Structure 1
Amino acid sequence: MRNWLLPEYIEDVLPAEAARMEQMRRKLLDLFHVHGYQLVIPPMLEYLESLTTGAGQDLDLATFKVVDLLTGRLMGVRADITPQTARIDAHLLNREGVTRLCYAGSVLRTRPDGLAQTREPLQVGAELFGHAGVESDIEIQHLLVQGLQSVGIAGLQIDFSHVGIFRSLVKNAGIAREQEQGLLAALQSKDKSEVAELTTGLPSDIRNALLSLADLNGGIEVLDEAQQRLPSYVEIRQALQDLRHVAQQLQDCDVLVSFDLAELRGYHYHSGMVFAAYAQGYSGPLALGGRYDEIGSSFGRARPATGFSLDLRGLATALPVAENGKAILAPYADDAQLHQIIAALRAAGEVVVVDLPGHEAHRAELGCDRTLVKQGSAWEVVTN
């Protein structure tokens, strides 16, 4: 057995990619900061109940579990930072008004997923707590769009849905839990024949509405069609109104907006509008987000919430490979003037690498495109 091998779907991030990911992380966190989002750094390990309560079975299955030798209790390695921010908002900050939080850190999952197909995503996200209106959804969506554009993603498409539409149909029809799960799976896979079979015996308006959800995907016209084909329940009218409002607010953001009313991702976790960001060159969503008002109650303090998260590893996969970092090679010398110049260059943001004695044959590995040389009595930077 080779001792240096890593587990499957666990990888090192090497210098070039690590530098690119770190630049993206800084840009995103700086953007969140100027919008009033405060950085939190939750622990990698918590008691399992705190990590998975209210987050649904999917997150429970994704979580690595270990036994705490100090207490004997079951602990989990976080698979998602969002529930941790909800816990922080509910119990540590304990604010009455709006709270804006952001984060960046590794998570660990039992199976690979996402664009990078890794079990250790680098998750970056922003969450807004304490406001239940569509205005906070729009703030989060604008922040996502600006964030992706700031790190070089062009040609964005945001795909929207609203779990409240399906939930309203289920509630008004009195559909049992098992039947609800079957319909959920059938709609996610756009299997209309399965939906038709599962809705046999339901009131005709509910049955037709559930069958219609599988077809209601496309541009803004989908919302007008949905208004015609779906029952005029209060929850459905409000959901369609909010989706229309969001589309209008994103018109000037250089983003294509689309809708898929059968997209019920995170149905047991989300409570309202959900969205996913896509772009050309990527095989799946770059970021996922939505409203999850009900999770706060799992921590004993119900708080409306909306947010998004993305995986920096996945985001970096399709971006153009950056050129090698530019650097200056400086000789190793006991020269006070040289040391002052090196310090000044570094203070100005330049990368200066000192050429240690005995490694002259390997200078090419340092990636330097310039060299500090002494011209007469002065040190100058010259291009190689």
Structure 2
Amino acid sequence: MPTHPQPANRRPKTSFGHLPEGHRDRLPPQAQALASLVRTLTDVCAAHGYERVAPPLIEYEASLASGSSRERLRFTDPVSQMTLALRSDITGQVGRIAVTRLAGQARPLRLMYAGQVARVRGDQLSPERERTQAGAELIGSDSAGAAAEVLAVAVEALTATGLAGLSVDLTMPTLVADLAAAGWALGTASLAQVRAWLDGKDVGALRSAGAAQFVPLIAAAGPVQAALAALKLLDLPDAVLARLDAIAMLAGGLASGQADISVTLDPTERHGFEYQTWLGFSLFGAGLMAEVGRGGAYMVAHADGRQEAAIGFSLYVDGLVDLGLGQEARPRVLLPLGTMAAVGTSLREQGWITVAGLESGTTAAALNCSHVWANGAVAAA
């Protein structure tokens, strides 16, 4: 009997219970910890006047303004026959809401969110393809005062989760373009080439192309005060000097509010900040390989083409769960079969978690309970 070759693109067999690469189930107690952390983060934002919005997981791809199109999972809507996409970032959705549903609201508009995002593939530091993102956006201003508020809220929210060793890395995403527009010589290079050489710290290429004026920017990176001092020695336009003053104010506010926080500045870092304007920042914590959050100033486009300034941050909650944060130590008490309902009501009002036994002889250990209701009182199991 002749055999037929298997097609080269045949899909691998999967068995029941397997998940796609980069996805996972959250089990007890991590799932509860995730919910607890989201609540902690959003409660801090709410205390600062940010109101929650909940955009959909799926939108028309053309409406998803933020995040790289390469990161989106796309498919065709069987109803409209238009291309839909799973969101890879929620920031752009909040911006869409701000300029459509809430276009008539007074500015600045303070909005917050929390939800799942998905991307086509992970990376070495963050292999997951589905993440829980929480954050806040201030629409209508990207002033130094707005930046100070947003950064302070992000730091306070992360501190409230118990994250230690917090550090903030600041950057100036449009600095190189602004300097080129102000007359700094690109030589024979394009702006894109100069940016790439700065990213790679390639001093030789910059000098060979006649763009040596940009070389000192490479050394002007590190602890924020030293970096600012090095930048102020350069021939900078007034607008850039004003931004340096704003960054100095931000750093001073962070240092005064958090004694152990580390603040650095890399003025030419642009990776992941392609949509930010004068300020970008990344947030890191002890025990985390990847960043726990990022944010910065950006522009939101209205339907008529008008651009509105905004600033905000996004936090990635899953890393906090993996550190063991967010777990609540509420004691669980077993209510043996036949216990009156009023007993459970009273115990829950006192803060206990009650677990009802549905069969006689059920043990506390079997239902993960530390205590048991016996002889009219709570006793250690």
TM-score, normalised via structure 1 length:
0.88
RMSD across aligned positions (CA)? 2.3
Measured in 2, the distance between the counterparts of 1:13 and 1:196 equals: 52
Q: Which amino acid aligns with 1:366?
A: L
Q: Does residue 62 of structure 1 match 2:71?
A: yes
- Give 2:307's match in structure 1, choosing from 298, 302, 311: 302
Q: Matches of 2:88 and 2:268 in 1, distance apart?
A: 26
Q: Over residues 255-295 of structure 1, what are the superposed CA-to-partner deviations in whole Å (9 max), with x where a residue is unaligned?
A: 22111112123443001111111222111211101001x23
Whole-Å Cα distance in 1 between the matches of residues 177 and 371 of structure 2?
A: 63
Change in Cα spacing, 1:299 to 1:367, as seen in structure 2 (3 Å) is farther
What's the counterpart of residue 262 of structure 2?
256
How far 1:195 moved relative to its partner?
Answer: 3.6
Alpha-carbon distance between aligned partners in 2 of 1:195 and 1:368, rounded to the nearest angstrom: 66
> Are the counterparts in 2 of residues 21 and 313 from structure 1 also a CA contact under 8 Å?
yes
| Higher-helix-fraction structure | 1
Contact 2:50 2:110 in 1 (8 A): yes
Would you say 1:155 and 2:157 are equivalent positions? no
State which of 134, 149, 154 in structure 2 corresponds to 1:139. Answer: 149
SS, match of residue 117 in structure 1: coil
1:224 is aligned to: 229
Instruction: Write the mapping of 1:203-352 to structure 2, written as runs, cut at 5 A.
Output: 207-208=212-213, 210-219=214-223, 220-228=225-233, 230-254=234-258, 255-292=261-298, 294-297=299-302, 300-319=305-324, 322=327, 326-333=331-338, 335=339, 338-352=340-354
Q: Does the CA-based 8 Å contact 1:20-1:316 persist in structure 2? A: yes
Structure 1: unaligned runs, 5 residues or longer: none
- Change in Cα spacing, 1:183 to 1:277, as seen in structure 2 (3 Å) is same
* One-letter amino acid of the structure 2 residue matched with residue 225 of structure 1: A
Between the aligned partners of 1:243 and 1:308, the Cα distance in structure 2 is 16
CA distance in 2, matches of 1:84, 1:244: 31
Counterpart in 1 of 2:374? Answer: 373
1:383 partnered with 2:380: yes
- In 1, distance between residues paired with 2:22 and 2:120? 10
The percent of aligned pairs where both chains have the same amino acid is 27
Deviations 1:310-363 (A, max 9, x none): 111122222469586520011111x5xx210101212333110011216736x4
SS at match of 1:101: strand
Q: Report how far residue 114 of structure 1 moved.
A: 8.3
Where does 1:15-94 land on structure 2 (aligned, <5 Å)? Answer: 15-52=28-65, 55=66, 59-94=68-103
Residue in 2 that maps onto 1:126: 136
Give 1:148 shift: 0.6
1:365 is displaced (CA, Å) by: 3.9
Query: How far apart, in 2, do the equivalents of 1:61 and 1:358 lie?
Result: 57
Residue 106 and residue 114 in structure 1: after superposition, are their counterparts in 2 closer, same or farther (change >3 A)? farther
Q: 1:16 to 1:99 in 2, by over 3 A?
A: same
